[in-house]
């Protein structure tokens, strides 16, 4: 059996961007550093072929083409210089995969694929060379990686999936600043990385109406080449920031007394470095969550009343960090949260 599919996606966005001098302490000057209209268009097309050979083998091949056009109209024209222009990126990427059924309940799979990440509008528009215009030094980041895994089930009650992955990237982006404009953030291609790890998931139905879902991820993300455009220089061998080595999730739920459901679960993260220097990190943390709901169905109208709580132990933790060139930013996570709501289905 052979299945061939093709598709396309189109995107368009328009941005009017103004930049004022940053005086520090969240204060901006009234003068302009940049004034521009930016239009971005993307055209993507893909072709996928899936071939089943007998009952045990399946082969997959896919090609994708992406073209991104960024057009800037410079309305500031600092010093009488018009920096209007375009920054265009295009690439063909591919993917190959194979699956093998060992038994009716166990299967193996493997795949290889490529990735393509062009600079974002914000990254392009931050131009360290002059006021206005695009940053002409930025190149797209690329990646290639493999995955090998197995999945299966037992007695229609236990379902599992485990996979090992590796991803190599080139031209990773970084943030930096320059002495002549110390309060502005710019972006450049500075690094290459090797990322490998394990992803696993488990779903268990111990009795009717009860579900247990768990997942575990191990990540080892290392810079194989990192020569920063500014301080702190060569960071080859350091770990990528904001990438905890271990993540764990478990959730349980039980539907009882017909349409009544109660559930509880936890999410946990290991410690993660804040920036590529690896000098500072945030500690790991875990959150306890719970929920309760009641559903009704009457004459084609469905409704669900629910009450849920997140971080019920009021754990203090850092939810998000941002590695700024002049000092890291720390965003605290919410304390105990309670949600209530009513869903209606017509």
**The three-state (H, E, C) secondary structure of 254-304, written as one string:** EEECCCEEEEEEEEEECCEECCCCCCCEECCEEEEEEEEEEEEEECCEEEE
Contact 165, 199 (CB under 8 A): yes
Model confidence over 261-305: pLDDT tens digits?
Answer: 999 999 999 999 998 889 889 999 999 999 999 999 888 899 999
pLDDT at 80 (0 to 100): 87
What pTM was computed for the model? 0.85
Angle at the Cα of 215 (from 213 to 219), degrees rounded to 5?
Answer: 175
pLDDT at 18 (0 to 100): 85
Residues of the chain with pLDDT under 50: none
For residue 177, what are the CA distances in angstroms to 53, 184, 188, 225, 251? 56, 6, 10, 20, 44
Q: Which two tokens stand for residue 259?
A: 């349409």
pLDDT at 325 (0 to 100): 63
pLDDT at 154 (0 to 100): 93
């Amino acid at each position: 059996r052979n299945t061939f599919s093709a598709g396309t996606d189109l995107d368009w966005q328009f941005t009017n961007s103004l930049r004022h001098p940053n005086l520090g302490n969240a204060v901006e000057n009234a003068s302009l550093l940049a004034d521009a209209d930016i239009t971005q268009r993307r055209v993507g097309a893909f072709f996928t072929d899936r071939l089943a050979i007998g009952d045990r083998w399946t082969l997959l091949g896919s090609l994708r083409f992406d073209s991104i056009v960024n057009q800037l109209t410079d309305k500031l024209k600092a010093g009488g210089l018009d920096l209007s222009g375009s920054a265009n990126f295009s690439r063909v990427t591919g993917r190959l995969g194979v699956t093998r059924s060992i038994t009716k309940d166990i299967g193996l799979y493997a795949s290889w694929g490529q990735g393509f990440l062009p600079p974002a509008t914000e990254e392009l528009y931050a131009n360290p060379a002059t006021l206005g215009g695009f940053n002409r030094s930025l190149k797209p980041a690329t990646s290639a990686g493999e995955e090998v895994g197995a999945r299966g089930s037992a007695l229609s009650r236990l379902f599992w999936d485990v996979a090992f992955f590796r991803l190599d990237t080139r031209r990773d982006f970084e943030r930096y600043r320059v002495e002549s404009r110390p309060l502005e953030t710019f972006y450049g291609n500075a690094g290459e990385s090797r990322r490998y790890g394990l992803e696993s998931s488990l779903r268990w139905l111990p009795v009717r109406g009860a579900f247990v879902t768990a997942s575990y991820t191990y990540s080892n993300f290392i810079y194989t080449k990192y020569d920063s455009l500014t301080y702190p220089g060569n960071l080859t061998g350091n770990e990528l920031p904001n990438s905890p080595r271990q993540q764990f999730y478990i959730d349980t739920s039980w539907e009882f007394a017909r349409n009544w459901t109660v559930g509880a679960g936890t999410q946990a993260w290991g410690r993660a470095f804040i920036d590529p220097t690896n000098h500072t990190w945030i500690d790991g943390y875990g959150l306890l969550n719970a929920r309760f709901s009641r559903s009704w169905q009457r004459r084609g109208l469905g409704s669900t009343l629910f009450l849920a709580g997140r971080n019920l132990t009021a754990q203090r933790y850092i939810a998000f960090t941002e590695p700024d060139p002049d000092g890291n930013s720390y965003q605290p996570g919410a304390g105990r949260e309670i949600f209530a709501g009513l869903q209606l289905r017509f």
